[in-house]
């Protein structure tokens, strides 16, 4: 869509593991769907860095590693949903599909499981970004 051509969305990627952050950014790429603006990434290796970034604003989607240590992405998601007004959508990467109940507990907006499946990640992230764009689009667009 032409209205998004010059816009860029910011995706925060949290994991203490550099390889996991890289898997997420490579899987999503620069533009996961034609109707979604280009993405830029803010990588965070610690929970305090995530909190600082969200307090500054400008984040359109958070992708958090549920297996991160010492602060896991699931507990961090619940904290963000409780403490950050207007928290952007959160997609968590859980250890295994059986952990989906933990994602529900954390109030994550979506979840995929390790290992990162690029198609599943792109589909989930794109759906969350489309919903976010629709909420902030002015009426009549």
Tell me how many domains the chain contains: 1
Q: What is the pLDDT of residue 4?
A: 47
Give the tens place of pLDDT for each residue, 31-49: 999 999 999 999 999 999 9
State yes or no: pLDDT of 6 exceeds 70.
no
Residue 88 lies in a domain: yes
Percent of the chain with pLDDT over 70: 92
Q: Measured between alpha carbons, how far is 108 from 38 in angstroms, rounded to an integer?
A: 23
Q: CA 20, 128, 19: angle at the middle one, nearest 5? A: 5
Q: Where are the alpha helices (DSSP H) in 41-117?
A: 47-56, 73-83, 100-106
Domain-located, residue 107 = yes
**Torsion angle of the four alpha carbons 86, 29, 74, 78, in this order, in degrees rounded to the nearest 10:** 0
Residue 141 is assigned to a structural domain of this protein? no
Q: How confident is the model at residue 1 (pLDDT cuts 50, 70, 90)?
A: very low
Structural domain including 60 reads 2-136
Is residue 5 pLDDT above 70, yes or no? no
Is 33 a member of any domain? yes
For residue 14, what is the domain's CATH number? 3.40.50.2300
Cα 53-57-58 angle, rounded to 5 deg = 105
**115-119 mean pLDDT:** 93
Q: State yes or no: pLDDT of 3 exceeds 50.
A: no
Average pLDDT, the chain: 92
Q: At 126, which helix (H) or strand (E)?
A: helix 118-136
Which residue from 36, 49, 43 is spatially nearest to 9, judged by alpha carbons? Answer: 36
Q: What are residue 119's phi and psi, to 5 degrees?
A: -70, -45
**In angstroms, rounded to a whole number, what is the distance separating the alpha carbons of residues 73 and 92?**
7
């Amino acid at each position: 869509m032409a209205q998004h051509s010059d816009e860029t969305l910011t995706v925060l990627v949290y994991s203490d593991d550099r390889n996991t952050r890289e898997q997420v950014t490579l899987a999503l790429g620069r533009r996961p769907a034609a109707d979604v603006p280009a993405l830029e990434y803010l990588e965070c290796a610690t929970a305090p860095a995530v909190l600082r970034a969200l307090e500054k604003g400008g984040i359109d989607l958070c992708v958090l590693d549920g297996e991160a240590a010492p602060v896991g992405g699931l507990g961090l998601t619940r904290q963000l949903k409780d403490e950050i007004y207007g928290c952007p959508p959160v997609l968590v990467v859980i250890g295994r599909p059986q952990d989906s109940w933990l994602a529900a507990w954390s109030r994550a907006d979506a979840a995929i499981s390790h290992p990162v499946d690029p198609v599943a990640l792109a589909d989930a992230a794109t759906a969350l970004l489309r919903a976010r764009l629709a909420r902030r689009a002015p009426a009549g667009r």
